[in-house]
Amino acid sequence: MSTVDEIATDELMVKAADEIEQLEAKYYDLIYAVSQKWPNETRHETAFRYIRQAETITNEPAQSNDRDVGRDEIAASKPSTE
């Protein structure tokens, strides 16, 4: 492996490590939003169940004002009320 290849590989490794760190932070933020887990469940399982229940009840994707991607696609996919 050449020095150029090693540098490129090192840069990719650093980038991948940064992305993993960001994903872990988001995951733990989501998991710890669960203030009380259900008996015999992990926080992950409780959060997953809450999300599935919410998605099942509304039968539509959750919408958030914080989302900047996909809002137009969701609006366009809704049936017209006219």
Residue 69 lies in a domain: no
How high is the pLDDT of residue 56? 87
Which stretches of the chain score pLDDT less than 70?
1, 4, 58-82
Query: Total structural domains in the chain?
Result: 1
Q: What is the mean pLDDT of the chain?
A: 77
- DSSP at 11: H
Residue 49 lies in a domain: yes
Residue 14 lies in a domain: yes
Residues 6+ apart with CB under 8 A from 13: none
Q: Which domain holds residue 21?
A: 3-61
How high is the pLDDT of residue 5? 77
